[in-house]
């Protein structure tokens, strides 16, 4: 038997340490939370994706009384980007969340389903997606979804 050690490097920033482009993308994700439809959880999530051509698209979580029928902000954003701009890669994805009172203190990571969709989007465009996770106390920068999904399942697992 042997151990397999998996490490991830996640940079932690204060908001004012980010460059103007990153602050703008996070601000766009924060603004998107106002368009969330979250009447059940009262937890609003917004995402903003910077595409290779400089376009920024947003999405929000969309809840449904039949909970599995809802969709996360990350997936609404990526699915919109991929359907409207199929020839443009996603360079950076910023995610922000808030309760009814305020934005959360600590960054939240994408759920497992969103991680899988981010992975597929990286594979589709053959490049990593940089992820910025906003919290009032700090921002996490993740260089690729592989850091959050180290033993991932993709199409290569189905090859001979």
Q: Active-site positions?
A: 74
- Does the annotation list 67 as a binding residue? yes
Using alpha carbons, select from 92, 94, 103, 134 the residue that is nearest to residue 34: 103
CA distances from 40 to 36, 61, 115 (A): 11, 11, 23
Contact by Cβ (8 Å): 72, 94:
no
- Does the annotation list 32 as a binding residue? no
- Does the annotation list 64 as a binding residue? yes
- Does the annotation list 138 as a binding residue? no
- Does the annotation list 13 as a binding residue? no
- Does the annotation list 114 as a binding residue? yes
Task: Categorise residue 145: left if φ over 0, alpha if ψ from -120 to 50, beta otherwise.
Answer: alpha
- Residues annotated within the binding site for substrate are 61-67
- Residues annotated within the binding site are 61-67, 72, 111, 114
- Residues annotated within the binding site for Zn(2+) are 72, 111, 114
């Amino acid at each position: 038997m042997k151990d397999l050690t998996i490490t991830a490097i996640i940079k932690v920033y204060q908001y004012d340490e980010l460059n103007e482009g990153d602050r703008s993308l996070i601000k766009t994700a924060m603004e998107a939370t106002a368009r969330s439809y979250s009447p059940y959880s009262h937890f609003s999530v917004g995402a903003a994706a910077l595409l290779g051509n400089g376009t920024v698209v947003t999405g929000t979580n969309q809840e449904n009384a039949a909970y599995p029928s809802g969709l996360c902000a990350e997936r609404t954003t990526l699915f919109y980007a991929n359907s409207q701009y199929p020839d443009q890669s996603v360079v950076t994805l910023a995610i922000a969340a808030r309760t009814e009172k305020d934005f959360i203190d600590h960054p939240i990571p994408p759920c497992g389903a969103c991680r899988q969709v981010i992975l597929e989007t990286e594979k589709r465009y053959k490049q990593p997606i940089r992820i910025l996770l906003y919290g009032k106390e700090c921002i996490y920068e993740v260089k690729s979804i592989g850091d959050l999904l180290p033993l991932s399942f993709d199409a290569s697992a189905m090859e001979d």
